[in-house]
Amino acid sequence: MSRRYGGNPAATGILVIVDVMALILILWIAFFLVNANTANDIVSWVRHAADWLSGWSRDMFTIRDDTWRTIVNYGLPAVVYLLIGHAVAGRVNRS
């Protein structure tokens, strides 16, 4: 872990933020797939946070199956955040 988050503190901050963002999105996908109780406070918070984080990409593709729609609508922003965030952190770390 020290190697991944070591180096420039700004790069470390960027990595931690984008990793947490992706974790929230992936956690919501997992909650959806196991049909978690949305009345639960934690599940509800994760869902609202994931909705906010994926607001720009939701319904970009019209997929009829609920499972695949959720995976794409929340998985795509997770991948984009990770790719862009890690690229920016790498650039900051080299500076």
Q: In this structure, how many other beta carbons lie within 10 angstroms of the beta carbon of residue 16?
A: 13
The pLDDT of residue 7: 76
Residue pLDDT, tens place only, 55-75: 998 888 889 999 999 999 999
What gap in Å lies between CA 32 and CA 47, rounded to an integer?
Answer: 9
| Confidence band of 1 (pLDDT split at 50, 70, 90) | very low
Helix (H, G, I), strand (E, B) or coil at 6: coil
Q: Is 41 exposed, middle or buried (0-12, 13-18, 19+ CB in 10 A)?
A: exposed
Checking if the pLDDT of 13 tops 70, the result is yes
What gap in Å lies between CA 19 and CA 16, rounded to an integer?
Answer: 5
